[in-house]
Structure 1
Amino acid sequence: MFLGIEIGGTKLQVALGQPGQDPIALERMDVQPDRGAIGILDQIETAGHRLLQKNAAQAIGVGFGGPVDPQTGVVAKSHQIEGWENFPLGDWCQKTFNLPTSLCNDCDAAALAEAAHGAGQGAGSVFYVTVGTGVGGGFVYQGQPFGADRPAIAEIGHLRPGIHADRPEITVESIASGWGLAAEARSRLMGDVSRSLSAARNRSPITDQTSDEFARDLLLRCDHDLDLLTAKLLGQAAAEGNELARDILEHGTQALGWAIAQVITLIAPQIIVVGGGVSLMGDQLFFTPLRAQVRRFVFPPLADSYAIVPAALGELVVVHGAIALAAKSS
């Protein structure tokens, strides 16, 4: 039996189980940002001891939402929660629970889970992409996480989309993530310069009049409060025929498709597994245009060498990966 821990910016999950099986016990908690890292550690300690009172575990695996050093078990930082800077999380877990502990980034944990027990099962090389609040990646080769000895690996969301993206904030994540899609929608509704893809996809450009109609529709959907405009809302509007929302989503899938094509060209994974909240928009709005954009940009000899598939393990993917990591390291 193994203890798997997922530490995110909004949720915390602690589970007990075996690799490839549903956890026998699971505790899910909301993160309290005002309590910082100390509050999360308190939650882990309480939940972990509660689970371990009923079942013994051999080891602990942790998937952390931010950059980590798997070799030392030290967290570099969290982009959402204060107090994680250079924190020795591996040592803390080992001392708190008296169990050997392995640590990795949450996307690397998810990649391991999908490769071993999910949509990439049976493939020799699997690249995992999550498209949600941010865009992250992980690469598993011959069943092993790749790049554990490097400070970062497979960070597809931080690719710069083209030679003119010369500022660090201009990334694939800034365009294709849920946050990026919502930010572009807000910019368009406020009248900022937009980058329409109408001409690129050989469709009639959106006229000023119809654009105004689609803009009014989006404003009504968020009650004229642009802070409430989300990628999920854009997906709903696009599914119901809002061309402005579709244009924004297509801009995102173009950037993501370009990035995945670069990954395929460089390392030729057999399976690309895509998960995260944005991917839940489905085939018509997400996977079909994404596959078309990947094919558009990929190195032609590799065009038929890969499959792009939805993730299979849902909200427990990082927990599954953490349990698999613990089992591999024990």
Structure 2
Amino acid sequence: MFLGIEIGGTKLQVVIGEPGQDPVALERMDVQPDRGAIGILDQIETATHRLLQKNKPVGIGVGFGGPVDPQTGIVAKSHQIEGWDRFPLRDWCQKTFNLPTSICNDCDAAALAEATYGAGEGAGSVFYVTVGTGVGGGFVYQGKQFGADRPAIAEIGHMRPGMHADRAEITVESIASGWGLAAEARSRLMGDVSRSLSLSRERGPIAEQTSDEFSRDLLLRCDHDLDQLTAKLIGQAAADGNELARDILDHGTQALGWAIAQVVTLIAPQVIVVGGGVSLMGDQLFFTPLRAQVRRFVFPPLADSYAIVPAALGELVVVHGALALAAQNA
């Protein structure tokens, strides 16, 4: 058995089990942001020692929500929680729990899990994309993480969407993530369309002058508090026929589809697995337009060479990947 740890910006999960199987034991906790990295380490230590009283894993795998160096086991930083800069997480785990430890980025862990036990099982090459608060990626080739010896790889969310995206803040993540969709909605409701991507877009009159009816609908859904306007609310509005919400989602899937098309053109993965909260909007609002946009931008000889499928492992995907990482390095 192995111990898998997920360290995110909002949740922590610690499990004991075998890769690809239901966990033998699970502890799930909410992150307390005001306590910073020290608070998270305290939570992990308490939960793990509780699990170790009844279980005897032989190694630890960690999926961390931010850039890490898998070779040194050092966290570069967290974009959500203070106190992680240059933290030696692997050494801390090994000293605290007296078990060999491997760490990687949480999206790389999720990619390994989906490629090995999830929606990409059986494929020789799998590119994983998560579309939630941010947009991340991971690439697994012949069952192994590709680029594990590099500081970062497959960071699809940080691609600049086209040659006209010359502002540092304009990335695929800033447009296609849940945060990006909400930010565009707020800008459109306030009459600011300066965020728009310079890719050609088939946009009707709604793009030039937002309809009062659709704007009022979005405002009502967030009780006229734009800070409460989320991608989930936008998706619900689009499903109910709000054309402004649908146009915002189309913008996001266009940027993401363009980015995935570049990945397919460069490395030709057999399967692209897409997970994360935004992907849960389903086929009509997300996967069908996403597939159309990928096909629009991809190198034509590769247009029928890949499958784009929903993720299969749910909220345990990162810890499944962490267990797999621990097993591979045992």
Task: Indicate conservation of the 8 Å contact 1:178/1:231, yes or no.
Answer: yes
Q: Distance in 1 between matches of 2:256 and 2:125?
A: 20
1:135-284 alignment runs, 5 A limit: 135-193=135-193, 195=196, 200-201=201-202, 204-206=204-206, 211-284=211-284
Match of 2:66 in 1: 66
Q: Distance in 2 between matches of 1:234 and 1:97?
A: 44
Structure 1 residue 210 displacement after superposition = 6.9
Structure 1 residue 310 displacement after superposition = 0.1
Structure 1 residue 65 displacement after superposition = 0.2
Identity %: 87
Match of 2:14 in 1: 14
**Partner amino acid, structure 2, of 1:68:** V
Structure 1 residue 212 displacement after superposition = 1.0
Structure 1 residue 206 displacement after superposition = 2.8
SS at match of 2:256: helix
TM-score, normalization by structure 1:
0.97
Deviation per CA, 1:134-166: give whole Å up to 9, x if none: 000000000000101111100000000011212
Match of 1:289 in 2: 289
Counterparts in 2 of 1:196 and 1:324: CA distance versus 1, 3 Å: closer
Q: Distance in 2 between matches of 1:59 and 1:154?
A: 26
Structure 1 residue 196 displacement after superposition = 9.3
Q: Distance in 2 between matches of 1:32 and 1:164?
A: 39
**Partner amino acid, structure 1, of 2:60:** I
Task: Indicate conservation of the 8 Å contact 1:196/1:247, yes or no.
Answer: no
Deviation per CA, 1:18-56: give whole Å up to 9, x if none: 011011110000001111100000011111111111010
Match of 2:117 in 1: 117
Task: Indicate conservation of the 8 Å contact 1:235/1:245, yes or no.
Answer: yes
SS at match of 2:19: coil
**Partner amino acid, structure 2, of 1:123:** A
Gaps spanning 5+ residues in structure 2: where? none
TM-score, normalization by structure 2:
0.97
Deviation per CA, 1:287-329: give whole Å up to 9, x if none: 0000000000000000000000000000000010000000000
**Partner amino acid, structure 1, of 2:308:** I
Match of 2:97 in 1: 97
Q: Distance in 2 between matches of 1:85 and 1:32?
A: 18
Are 1:87 and 2:87 matched, yes or no?
yes
**Partner amino acid, structure 2, of 1:314:** G
Match of 1:23 in 2: 23
Counterparts in 2 of 1:288 and 1:102: CA distance versus 1, 3 Å: same
**Partner amino acid, structure 2, of 1:70:** P
Structure 1 residue 191 displacement after superposition = 1.0
Gaps spanning 5+ residues in structure 1: where? none
Task: Indicate conservation of the 8 Å contact 2:165/2:197, yes or no.
Answer: no
Task: Indicate conservation of the 8 Å contact 2:111/2:139, yes or no.
Answer: yes
SS at match of 2:324: helix
Between the two proteins, the alignment pairs up a number of residues equal to: 328
**Partner amino acid, structure 2, of 1:228:** Q
SS at match of 1:294: helix
Match of 1:318 in 2: 318
Structure 1 residue 62 displacement after superposition = 0.1
Match of 1:32 in 2: 32
Structure 1 residue 205 displacement after superposition = 2.7
Structure 1 residue 208 displacement after superposition = 7.7
Match of 1:42 in 2: 42
Q: Distance in 2 between matches of 1:31 and 1:196?
A: 34
Q: Distance in 1 between matches of 2:179 and 2:297?
A: 24
Task: Indicate conservation of the 8 Å contact 1:130/1:275, yes or no.
Answer: yes
Counterparts in 2 of 1:208 and 1:90: CA distance versus 1, 3 Å: closer
SS at match of 1:139: strand
Task: Tell me which moved more, 205-214 or 225-234.
Answer: 205-214
Deviation per CA, 1:252-307: give whole Å up to 9, x if none: 00000000000000000000000000000000000000000000000000000000
Deviation per CA, 1:219-270: give whole Å up to 9, x if none: 0110000001000000000000000000000000000000000000000000
Q: Indicate the RMSD between aligned Cα atoms, in angstroms.
A: 1.5
**Partner amino acid, structure 1, of 2:241:** G
Q: Distance in 2 between matches of 1:18 and 1:167?
A: 45
Task: Indicate conservation of the 8 Å contact 1:129/1:273, yes or no.
Answer: yes
Counterparts in 2 of 1:79 and 1:146: CA distance versus 1, 3 Å: same
